[in-house]
Amino acid sequence: MKWSAEIVRRLAIGLVLLGSVGMMLSMLICVADVVGTNFLDWPVPGTLEITESTMVLIVFGALAFTQEKRGHIRVEILHGYMSARLKSLADLVTHLLALVFFVLLAWYSFGELSYSWEIQEATMGTIRFPLYPARTLLTAGAVLLVLQLVLDVIGDFGRAWRGEPPREHAPAPEDSAKVS
Amino acid sequence: MDLLSAQAAGWIVIPFLVVCLALGVHIGVALGLAGFIGILLTVGPDAAGAQFAAIPFSTTNNFNLAVIPLFILMGSFATAAGIVTECFRTAYVWLGKLRGGLAMATVMSSAAFGAASGSTIVNAAVFTKMAMPEMTRFGYDVRLSSGCIAAAGTLAALIPPSILMVIYGVITEQSIGKLLIAGIIPGIVTAVIYCGGIYVLARVRPDLAPRADIKVSWAERWRSLYGVSGIAVLFFLVVGGIYGGYFPATYAGAVGAFGAFVIALFKRKLGPGTLAEVLKEAAVTTSVIFIIVVGGMLFARFLIYSGLVDLISNGLLSLGHGKYTYLVGYVVLFTILGCFIEPIAIMVMTLPIMYPVMKAQGFDPIWLGVVSVKLAEIGVLTPPVGLNVFVVKSSSPVPVTLGQVFTGVMPFIAMDFLSLVLYVFFPGMITWLPNLMSK
């Protein structure tokens, strides 16, 4: 259990770092394209396509990492009125539903992915930019989140059973302010 | 499998969504599952699967929405560069001596930092850490200081860059550039109204905001302007680029992020560790936002495919009320939802149905965008679930209760409704700038 959590955690960090590099890259390439188009009469080919693919990487790359940090936004109206066990039970239900959602997402996107590889799917524009790498990243990110959620559901079940309160939620908004 | 009518499915799906949200299910997951179940019940399993296969990729692999991580990055780099401190310092030396001056300085510097940040939560968090201790030191009432910080945070959503404007633009297929430009004047007007309100409050109840005894020379005041010159240049680059039609919003985001990155480098505030941290946080924030958008898009597909959009919007239109009755209804709907749900989710949930109705009533789409953003932002201030209020409470270095912050934001909510009234009577303050744009 411990080592599996550790593996998932490391993979999640790896993917989020890859997403960070992608974000930096798409920023630089867009700026290069602006400068190239407006001043040098030399637009950077593929800017749009590369930016789109990195978007998929950023969003799905950060999924599992965000879940591990409990960073996803949720409404907590009833939580104030619940006992520790009930809170853990509510967490169990929410994580189970999230599991259902992302299993569906991973399942259907895997179908798309295999078809995309088969036909070597690419964009229709002037350059034929391949789309299957981005689809692979989407599926990989979703599968990793599914694994993380399975670990969370097991943890929630144990806590609900023992009557312990749920794991603390990360104060997500402040994290971004911490860098100052 | 027998398919249900749109109405019957609606009676199953909407309660499911409400229960999920009340239980604390992630908003994106709740919306997405509700959408999936809805399509499954009304159109069948094949259609539901096809939507699930297509939407996550088409929503993320999207150049228009790519502006969101870039705007987030711009705000994070600007925060890392310490631009917030400089904005506050500048406003402080210029306004601090006035009655209620520190609160006005908070409002004005939050507006100025809004020119680099598109997120109301980030604004609320950073200003709480900086302005709360300062106002407390000079004897300001914590209700006024905390309320003003929470409310001033919302200025970031009106003043470009703004993530909410992008979301509205994508859902309603309006020009994101025009929407961003349209937010400038309402943002400034809101800031001025806030300052006026603070001044009046401080006049009527001087005990709330004692005159701060600050000694600053004029030389110091002028010098402080140098500190904010970086952000001013950045703002003109981003807004000017969009306004002049030199580049679309996504490129503007990249230029803004790059500019903030250069400023942070130049000020030696960006080591490799900080850079990695900034990028990681920006990726996480992006991911959180996009899961809501993906879920919202799935939900919207259910509303459209099942025919619920036509059913409800035709039903609403057939009531045949006057234009402004619909506007009042729109305001009430957003305000009620805003009490419980965060702004992006409100946008993705309501716009598929309400936008066609409002457009049919003759409301200008750009005007409606600014009004919607304003309304959604009032929602981050209203109890019981007010995101900005929570953020101010949890990041405050000075002890303050949730009740105090909620009391403190009340006058500002009243002022926000005053702004809305102004938008209705003077729509030009929203539409004038975008109408001047070339494209």
- Across the range B303-312, mean pLDDT stands at 81
User: CB B276 to CB A100 under 8 A?
Assistant: no
CB B235 within 8 Å of CB B115: yes
**pLDDT cut 70: percent of chain B above it:** 99
State the pLDDT at residue A101.
92
pLDDT averaged over chain B? 88
State the pLDDT at residue A76.
60
As beta bridge partners, residue A130 has A122
CB-based contact, B250 to chain A, within 8 Å: yes
Q: Which token pair is A111?
A: 């179908």
Residues of A in contact with B277 (CB under 8 A): 178-179
**pLDDT cut 90: percent of chain B above it:** 28
Q: Residue B144, class by beta-carbon neighbours within 10 Å (0-12 exposed, 13-18 middle, 19+ buried)?
A: buried
Structure letter (DSSP) for residue B99: T
CB B295 within 8 Å of CB B51: no
Closest-CA residue to A68 (of A124, A9, A15, A25):
A9
CB B199 within 8 Å of CB B104: yes
Q: Which token pair is A137?
A: 């990243």
Looking at chain A from residue 98 to 127, which residues have their Cβ under 8 Å from any Cβ of chain B?
A: 98, 100-102, 104-105, 108-109, 111-112
How far apart CA B161 and CA B357 sit, in angstroms, is: 28
Question: Which chain A residue has the Cα nearest residue B280?
Answer: A20
Looking at chain A from residue 122 to 141, which residues have their Cβ under 8 Å from any Cβ of chain B?
A: 131, 134-135, 138
- Across the range A173-177, mean pLDDT stands at 36
pLDDT averaged over chain A? 80
CB-based contact, B348 to chain A, within 8 Å: no
CB-based contact, A148 to chain B, within 8 Å: no
CA distances to A54, A110, A125, A132, B53 from A116, rounded to whole Å, are 17, 10, 17, 6, 12
CB-based contact, B237 to chain A, within 8 Å: no
CA distances to B268, B303, B335 from B338, rounded to whole Å, are 40, 21, 5
State the pLDDT at residue B413.
95
Q: Which 3 state secondary structure label does DSSP give B211? A: coil
The better pLDDT of the pair B118, B412 is held by B412
Whole-complex ipTM: 0.86
State the pLDDT at residue A85.
80
Q: What is the pLDDT of residues A42-53, one digit of tens each?
A: 888 888 888 888
State the pLDDT at residue A80.
65
HSE value, Cβ hemisphere, 13 Å, CA-based, for B255: 23
State the pLDDT at residue A179.
29
Closest-CA residue to B386 (of B376, B397, B398, B395):
B376
CB-based contact, B16 to chain A, within 8 Å: no
> What's the pTM value of the predicted model, to 2 decimals?
0.87
Question: At residue B406, does pLDDT exceed 70?
Answer: yes
How far apart CA B194 and CA B216 sit, in angstroms, is: 24
Closest-CA residue to B113 (of B159, B144, B68):
B159
Residues of A in contact with B61 (CB under 8 A): 52-53, 55-56, 131, 134
Phi (first) and psi of residue A50, to 5 degrees: -65, -40
Q: What is the pLDDT of residues B171-205, one digit of tens each?
A: 998 998 899 999 999 999 999 999 999 999 999 99
How many CB pairs (< 8 A) connect A and B?
Answer: 228
Confidence of residue A178 (pLDDT cuts 50, 70, 90): very low
State the pLDDT at residue B375.
94
Q: Which token pair is B368?
A: 């409606």
Which of the residue ranges A154-163, B131-140, B417-426 has the most confident prediction, judged by mean pLDDT? B417-426
Q: What is the pLDDT of residues B205-264, one digit of tens each?
A: 988 888 877 788 888 888 888 878 888 888 888 888 888 888 888 888 899 889 989 988
State the pLDDT at residue A75.
59
Question: At residue B415, does pLDDT exceed 50?
Answer: yes
Name the minimum distance, in Å, from the CA of B263 to any CA of chain A.
Answer: 14
Question: At residue B345, does pLDDT exceed 60?
Answer: yes
Phi (first) and psi of residue A123, to 5 degrees: -70, 160
State the pLDDT at residue A73.
57
- Across the range B263-286, mean pLDDT stands at 86
State the pLDDT at residue B104.
94
State the pLDDT at residue A53.
87
CB-based contact, B230 to chain A, within 8 Å: no
Confidence of residue B98 (pLDDT cuts 50, 70, 90): confident
How far apart CA B117 and CA B112 sit, in angstroms, is: 9
The better pLDDT of the pair A74, A145 is held by A145
Question: Which chain B residue has the Cα nearest residue A138?
Answer: B57
Please give, one letter per residue, the 3-state secondary structure of chain A: CHHHHHHHHHHHHHHHHHHHHHHHHHHHHHHHHHHHHHHHCCCCCCHHHHHHHHHHHHHHHCHHHHHHCCCCCCCCCCHHHCCHHHHHHHHHHHHHHHHHHHHHHHHHHHHHHHHHHHCCCECCCCCCCECHHHHHHHHHHHHHHHHHHHHHHHHHHHHHHHCCCCCCCCCHHHHHHHCC
User: CB B126 to CB A177 under 8 A?
Assistant: yes
